[in-house]
Amino acid sequence: MKVLLKVVVPALCCMIMCTTAASTAHSIVTEELKKQFDFAEYLFNETDYYRAISEYKRFIFLYPFHPLAEKSRFKICECYYKAKRWHEAVEALNRFIADYPASPLKEDAFYLKGLSEKELKFYKEAISSLEVASLSLSDGLRNRSFFQIALVYVDLEDWKAARTYFSKISDTSPLYPSAWTFSSELENVDMLPRKSPGLAGTLAAVLPGAGHLYTERPRDALVAFLLNGAFIWAAIELFKDDNYVAGGVVTFFELGWYTGNIYSAVGSAHKYNRRVKNEFIQNIKERTSLTYYYDRDDSRHYVALSVSF
């Protein structure tokens, strides 16, 4: 019995010491892991996105199987988006979606991908990504996705489709006032003042500069009138003096200026219409400003909204 005790007691002491050492080592590793991730988060919150990407990548390299590695991968995507590196954001999000098909952040990834594609004016791809995000069980993400799809259709000038998606937003959503404002204002888009390109061209043909004056470009109107008037006067004087060769050359150049005056007037009408429409849409967007952000405490994405009347 004494021999047995002499053997067991040292063994127990050894096991206790090993367990304590292992626990201490695990605690140290956990602390270092937390510091590593927290530092990446700190850089992200300080908007130092490029350094944050490096630190998230470092965390993934050191702890590839830790649950926070998945979140780090997503935060890298978000860094690219925040840094306005849209192409890199789309590529990183595609890899994230492929590597984590069952991730709880999958719909958020599609949403962020859609926003990036919208910035790149890849409208078809943006609608597709946002449609996937709209399948989320989260009412907030679903409404945000509908709102962004509507904005894509606004950029495409498909007012009917835009109003359709604005109408899908729940009246309990914080986005509802903004959606209602947009949808209501879009009903007035066809009543915006317009300039007829055909009329502008006709006026320019009758009197050089008149088309530009009609499209509210008085400086261009004056230039067109003086240049064409000078060439016409020079050609007439040359023909009066029987200088047909020089008169023909001047007439040839005048035909170019005259035709250019007509095309320019038509283009001015299109520019006027486009400017009025863009200012109208931009005014609505400024009155219903949206800001995308990610909440680090509950790991969800939000859109901050302000509406002005």
93-107, 174-188, 206-220, 231-245: least confident range:
231-245
Position 110: which residue type?
F
Total domains in the fold of the chain? 1
CA torsion sign for 107, 111, 113, 117 is positive
Is residue 219 in some structural domain? yes
Is residue 135 in some structural domain? no
Mind listing the pLDDT tens digit for each residue in 50-67?
A: 999 999 999 999 999 898
Is residue 261 in some structural domain? yes
Size of the chain in residues: 309
Tell me the H-state helices in the chain.
2-45, 49-62, 67-82, 86-99, 106-119, 123-133, 139-155, 159-167, 176-186, 197-206, 210-214, 218-240, 244-287
pTM of structure: 0.72
DSSP 8-class letter at 192: S
208-217, 240-249, 259-268, 285-294: least confident range:
285-294
Is residue 173 in some structural domain? no
Enumerate residues 6+ apart whose C-beta is below 8 A from 110: 93, 97, 129, 130, 132, 133
More confident residue, 224 or 121: 121
50-54, 158-162, 233-237: least confident range:
233-237
Mind listing the pLDDT tens digit for each residue in 130-144?
A: 999 999 989 999 999
Q: Which two tokens stand for residue 156?
A: 């495409």
Q: Which two tokens stand for residue 202?
A: 């006709």
Burial of 73 (0-12, 13-18, 19+ CB in 10 A): buried
What b/e string do you get for 165-202 counting C-beta neighbours within 10 Å, with b at 16 or more? Answer: bbeebeeebbbbbbbbbbbeebeebeeeeebebeebbb
Is residue 174 in some structural domain? no
Mind listing the pLDDT tens digit for each residue in 71-118?
A: 999 999 999 999 999 999 999 999 999 999 999 999 999 999 999 999
Q: Under DSSP, is residue 109 helix (H, G, I), strand (E, B) or coil?
A: helix
* pLDDT, averaged across the chain: 81
Domain that holds residue 262: 197-285
Which DSSP string corresponds to 142-177?
Answer: HHHHHHHHHHHHHHTT-HHHHHHHHHTS-TTSTTHH
Q: What percent of the chain has pLDDT over 70?
A: 80
How does strand 300-307 pair with strand 288-295?
antiparallel
Is residue 205 in some structural domain? yes
Is residue 101 in some structural domain? no
Query: What is the pLDDT at residue 36?
Result: 86
Is residue 279 in some structural domain? yes
- The whole-number average pLDDT for the span 30-49 is 87
